[in-house]
Structure 1
């Protein structure tokens, strides 16, 4: 990746050799640990400039302290969230809603959508979540003593739940996941192609629901009203694209990183087996240790921020994986402590744009871990395999092959003849 020139207003001493996309352990790496890799920034200044910290190679200011990230994410009058991340892949400029809207207009759409993903709605949905987890895990257990957990469980579980929420057909799950992978992790050809495909799908679905509404998310959106009017086609598209993309990757990745950790740390695995009531607390610590999203804001005006001369139009990175390893915020931040309490992690962001789907994501992760631990014997990463991890705008893991075959007792092997 070729970096853009460092702007003239950035002091040379504030430029850092770091990127969530190209630094060590960020590109697809066997047995890599991108979360540990980003923790190195805490040995340096609280803010620095990276010349290549976006997919397109654009530079960003990198905020390393959790408290400073909260300030950026809260001060929407100074730092805008409107970047048209998705639309830019198409050479267009429209926001994903409500993620890329700033207050006060952001609040109008947030108020419309909040009830759909409220704690009460998620609680009502829990039996469906648990039923899906049990069905998948029991099927895996019946087929043998190992599986590729991302393909066989994490994606089919998390994505199926989200598709049910949207009212979309389950038989297209693999297709939808493929679109998401191309969009989030594809090259310069696959990414725009996936973006066009997703937009066409959302537009077609919206048109269908306008004509023939059913009891699902898209029917609600196309017939909803804000400020006494119906939503425009672009607003429906912005909501539909954000909701569709957000549900196809992040929860599955979280479950994958969690199971990879437990596969490597059998004492913690045993703790959760013996005391399953600890899983809720443990899930929060795993969210802290293995978050997946970088949030970027755009400066609306010139500002001196912690000694950094941020200028209007500069990108500012608030990466959850950096905030969650902040030693001024967490004791022993690089140690996973499943008994950690008082855990103010940033996995779901902060401020008015805090993740709309956080209640659903939490419930999926907890239920997934509960049912996996209850139904699968002690598991490890299968010998001669290596999970592939990657950084980027959204961190991910694949090729996670788990094995729970009982070790062969000593003395039962073949005896060589004399």
Structure 2
């Protein structure tokens, strides 16, 4: 895709030749390492302008320091999260909720949803999470000495748990995952088509639950109230779409990157096998090293930000994979250290929009690693195969063929 003209207010010396989509190491690559590729930005300025650094091809100011990203994500009076990303693909205008709402409206919906994702609620789900992991891994162990870790475990595990949480039919798992892949990683034809399909599904599900509520997420939403009123159709759609899409890729991707790392680093794999109590801390270091989410904010007014003349309407890029490799925050940031202490990573974001499902995601990742390491022998990347990794607005991994024995 051709780059956009650089806006007149951007000084030429602040333009950088980098983006998360097509810079070296970002395009789908066998055995690629897009997380290491982004680390190159730390050799340059703390903020620069990339003429193309968003899925829609628009330019953005790239924030490279973790502390500066936290400031952007916290200063909602200066930087808005309302981008209308999903609906604009359909030529419509409604926000995904609460992600694309700014305070004070954001807090109203966030407070409504918080109990559904609380640590207490996650603890109640833990037996089901562990049962799901053991069932899948037992099946893998009994079927041979290799597997496609994404297809056979990461997606059926992460997505299956999320579908159970939402009250959606598990037999449609592969269909839902295909929708998510087209939406998040597809081209200009597949992406809008997937968006339309997902919206139609959410609208249909909401209509069904209004007529006949059950004990599930969508029934809760269609019956919920904010500020003494029920939710409008567009608000139900905005919540449903966000939660549905957010749960279909992120946890599976995290587990995939974790297993790929352990398959290549047998000493660390052995450490966690011998000392499983380390897995909780190790999972945080792996989240730091291999995050997947790229957050964009929109300037609400003209502002000088660390020497950058940001103007109202400019996009501001806060990529978690850049923040998590910041040498000002982490010693030897490109080294994965499973004994690292005090990990303050950005993988779940920061500020009022910090990931609503972070408690659930953490438990899924930890339980997935615990059960995998307890039930399968030492594993490695199968000879003659190579995982395919890619950058973009959501980093990903596929073709992760592992073998053991």
> Residue 291 of structure 1 corresponds to which residue in structure 2?
291
Question: How do residues 320-335 of structure 1 correspond to structure 2 at under 5 angstroms?
Answer: 320-335=320-335
Shift of 1:57: 1.3
Tell me the distance in 2 between the aligned counterparts of 1:38 and 1:189.
28
What's the CA shift string for 1:336-389, capped at 9, x where partnerless?
000001000000000000000000000000000000000010000000000000
2:405 is equivalent to residue 402 of structure 1: no
Q: Deviations over 1:128-170 (max 9, x none)?
A: 0000000000000000000000000000000000000000000
Map of 2:7 onto structure 1: 7
Q: 1:240-299 CA deviation, whole Å, 9 max, x = no partner?
A: 000000000010000000000000000000000000000000000000000000000000
1:124 is displaced (CA, Å) by 0.6
Structure 1 partner of 2:67: 67
Give the alignment's TM-score, normalised by structure 1. 0.97
SS in 1 for 2:328: coil
Q: Residue 86 in 1 paired to residue 90 in 2?
A: no
Taking the aligned partners of 1:194 and 1:359, their CA distance within structure 2 comes to 28
TM-score (norm 2): 1.00
Deviation, 1:210, is 0.2
How much has 1:25 moved relative to structure 2? Answer: 1.3
Q: Any idea what SS the aligned residue of 1:55 has?
A: coil
The equivalent residue for 1:104 is 104
CA radius of gyration, larger in: 1
What's the CA shift for 1:191? 0.1
Structure 1 CA distance for aligned equivalents of residues 3 and 189 of structure 2: 19
Correspondence for 1:250: 250
Q: CA deviation at 1:92?
A: 1.3
Looking at structure 2, the residues matched to 2 and 163 of structure 1 have their Cα atoms a distance apart, in angstroms, of 39
Structure-1 residue corresponding to 2:315: 315
Report SS of the residue matched to 1:364.
helix
The more displaced of 378-387 and 21-30 is 21-30
User: What are the superposed Cα offsets for residues 184-204 of structure 1, whole Å, 9 maximum, x if unpaired?
Assistant: 000000000000000000000
Can you list the C-alpha shifts for 1:193-227, whole angstroms capped at 9, x where unaligned?
00000000000000000000000000000000000
Cross-structure match for 1:37: 37
Which runs of 5 or more structure 1 residues have no equivalent in the other structure? Answer: 406-418
Are 2:16 and 1:16 aligned?
yes
Give, in whole Å, the separation in 1 of the partners of 2:204 and 2:4.
38
Instruction: Please give the secondary structure, in 2, of the residue aligned with 1:309.
Output: strand
Tell me the equivalent position of 1:131.
Answer: 131
Q: Specify the alignment match of 1:410 in structure 2.
A: none
Counterpart of 2:119 in structure 1 is 119
Aligned residues: 405
Aligned-partner Cα distance in 1 for 2:342–2:136: 33
Q: Residues of 1 paired with 2:377 and 2:163: CA distance?
A: 29
Secondary structure of the corresponding residue to residue 10 of structure 2 = coil
The residue that corresponds to 2:176 in the other structure is 176
Match of 1:345 in 2: 345
Residue 265 (structure 1) aligns with: 265
Residue 333 of structure 1 and its aligned partner are, at CA, apart by 0.3
**Alpha-carbon distance between aligned partners in 1 of 2:94 and 2:29, rounded to the nearest angstrom:** 34
2:306 aligns with 306
For residues 376-391 of structure 1, the aligned pairs below 5 Å read 376-391=376-391
Corresponding residue of 2:356: 356
RMSD (Å), alpha carbons: 0.4
Cα deviations by residue, 1:377-415 (Å, 9 ceiling, x for unpaired): 00000000000000010000000000002xxxxxxxxxx
1:233 aligns to what?
Answer: 233
Q: Look up the match of 1:413.
A: none
Q: Does the residue aligned with 1:16 lie in a helix, a strand or coil? A: coil
* Matching residue of 1:162: 162
Deviation at 1:27, TM superposition (A): 1.1
| Unaligned residue ranges in structure 2 (runs of 5+) | none
After TM superposition, the runs of 4+ consecutive aligned structure 1 residues lying more than 4 A away are none
Distance 1:390 1:225 in 2: 41
Give, in whole Å, the separation in 2 of the partners of 1:96 and 1:276.
38
2:152 partner SS: helix
